[in-house]
Structure 1
Amino acid sequence: MPITFSSDTLVKDIVNELPKTSDVFKKNRIDFCCGGNIPLSLAASQNGLNMDSLLEELKVIADKSESAETDLAVWTNSDSNTIIDHVINQYHRTTEEELSLLSPYVTKVSRVHGDNHPELLKVYELFYEFKKEMVEHMSKEEAVVFPLIRQLADNTINNREEAIAMIVELEKEHDHAGEILREIRAVTSDFTLPLDVCGTYRLVYKRLEELEGLTFMHVHLENNILFPRYLG
């Protein structure tokens, strides 16, 4: 279903529908949290912004959301080099960006609300563990393992056993990342929001859930389509 909004749409409703638009609002110094109950046109006027330019920035986020893949079956018949390039461009770069952008929100919410909601302190701990592991994992994939898989695909590999061992290691890292995400989901009671929480609190939960979905698609493409070609 297409995502639509206009100059009359409330700022908070745009963020609720598309959490990543919060980055656009933050960049333009628009308060989407406490001051989000106003039309986009008023927010633009109050901050001296060009309405058309602001709408265009938001549309970019909406278009990315609309084009996000929901069915990865098409990759079953793709060659390994194509899949690797897609993983790097679609998942690694997107995950790196989201981890970087989400970090200050997670930190802020845990600092401001952690005393009354101690689960946020655990979310903070788990999120930064996940971030550290995923950044290292993706770096290893690009620098070491993906080049080995390309050699396997081209049949130019010198040490097939080493490559297979590293693929198995990546699968174990995927399992651990998944376990961290399951812990985040458990400690947040499936991202259930307490009553009367602020917009940033709501934003963190929605984006953490979207990060979970992004990671699961990433892992599915590797574990269930790419890696089995070389582990059989």
Structure 2
Amino acid sequence: MEQPIVTDTLILDPVILTNHIEKHFHARHREQLPLLIELANKVEAVHAAHSDAPHGLAAALSRFHDDLVEHMHKEEVILFPAMRQGGMPGIEHPIHVMRADHADHIETAEAIRRLAGNLVLPEGACRTWAALYEGLGEFLADFADHVRTENEQLFPLFEH
């Protein structure tokens, strides 16, 4: 039986850690991003003339969604199964690719935050706009935890 993950605890079992990453972070991102794209499209359409509207946010989120889904798929199909079996010769190469993807994704997340005015709502913002920024804040925090978990806990288990 898997033990629950405590965020401030270092987990050294790659089976437990990869399962947690898939069930918690990957599943959550797959739920979050389509909803955020939908909300961003609504806010951009309704408030197109508003100077503080997050113009281009829906498109940026859509590109990020596509990139992240591809990245997670590579982890789930190639990297994580190898890690669950104790690694493989040359595993540092796909880990290096994943770390490079993470660096790119962090830059994209920062750009998305900027597009959304650092998640500061303008006065009189509608409920949809507020829901967008609240959800975006949750996604960005989850995403940062996801990257940190992989970069600081999982990958070091296989980098020698």
Question: TM-score when scaled to structure 2?
Answer: 0.89
Q: Report SS of the residue matched to 2:135.
A: helix
For 1:104 and 1:212, how far apart are their aligned partners in 2? 17
Amino acid at match of 2:22: I
> Are positions 1:176 and 2:108 aligned together?
no
For 1:83 and 1:98, how far apart are their aligned partners in 2? 21
Structure 2: gaps of 5 or more residues = none
Change in 2 beyond 3 A, CA 1:172/1:119: farther
Contact 2:52–2:122 (8 Å) recurs in 1: no
> Are positions 1:132 and 2:66 aligned together?
yes
Change in 2 beyond 3 A, CA 1:147/1:125: same
Superposed CA RMSD in Å reads 1.7
For 1:213 and 1:77, how far apart are their aligned partners in 2? 20
Aligned to 2:8: 73
Aligned to 2:57: 123
Aligned to 2:142: 214
Amino acid at match of 1:73: D
Residue 136 of structure 1: how far off its partner (Å): 0.9
For 2:75 and 2:62, how far apart are their aligned partners in 1? 20
Counterpart selection for 1:89 from 8, 11, 23: 23
Amino acid at match of 1:130: F
For 1:220 and 1:135, how far apart are their aligned partners in 2? 18
Aligned to 1:204: 132
Aligned to 2:152: 224
- How big is each residue's C-alpha offset from its partner over 1:51-108, in whole Å with a ceiling of 9 and x where there is no partner? xxxxxxxxxxxxxxxxxx8x6232x243111100110111111110111222211111
Counterpart selection for 1:166 from 91, 94, 106: 94
Question: TM-score when scaled to structure 1?
Answer: 0.63
Amino acid at match of 1:171: R
Greater relative CO (CA pairs within 8 A, separation 6+): 2
For 1:132 and 1:117, how far apart are their aligned partners in 2? 28
Structure 1: gaps of 5 or more residues = 1-68
List aligned pairs for 1:11-90, cutoff 5 A.
Answer: 72-74=7-9, 76-90=10-24
Q: Report SS of the residue matched to 1:190.
A: helix
Instruction: Name the % identity.
Output: 27
Q: Report SS of the residue matched to 1:227.
A: helix
For 1:115 and 1:185, how far apart are their aligned partners in 2? 20
Residue 187 of structure 1: how far off its partner (Å): 2.8
Q: Report SS of the residue matched to 1:126.
A: helix
